Amino acid sequence: EIETRIDNLSDDAMPVSIGYHPWFQLSDAPRDSWKLHLAARDHLELSKTKIPTGKSEPVQFSDPLPLKGVYLDDVLGGLIRDARGEASFSVEGNREKITVTFGPKYQNAVVYAPPGRDIVCLEPMSGPTNAFNMAHDGTYSSLQSIPPRGEWHAAFRIKAEGF
């Protein structure tokens, strides 16, 4: 489990947007036979420079999503959560599986899976890439903040099975 705590030592509210970028590999099968579970409803539209535009569309990926011939460098939102408010993303080979479970304050995911490389990234993000600028220009309304003299806590877990 990776837990993050941010303390706001100011007398003003402090916006917060953080993310982690874990990369994973499976060794029991080639990348082309890996399958992804992406716990999201929304696929954020990206500019040519891979920055969210503020627009989204429903996720069109199958579940599970076979990685054969698939290139992903995507930002997802509308995470699908369980009763505890957690969203679980996973990559699975023949017997190996890695699950990344996002706590409630991780509202977005970046998923990166380039062809020709035996990696997949399942990245917990408290907001989309460029959240501060998007909030400033009115294209993102869910920017989190820490109250004056307050704290922000969030956690995500990584579980490896079958190794």
Average pLDDT for consecutive 10-residue bins of the chain (163 residues)? 98 98 97 97 97 96 96 98 98 98 98 95 97 96 98 98 97
Distance CA 146, CA 6 (A): 8
For residues 104-138, one letter each, b for 16 or more C-beta atoms within 10 angstroms of the residue's C-beta and e for the rest, the string is ebbbbbbbbbeeeebebbbbbbbbbbbbeebbeee
The whole-model pTM stands at 0.96
pLDDT of 8 reads: 98
The pLDDT, as a whole number, for residue 151 is: 98
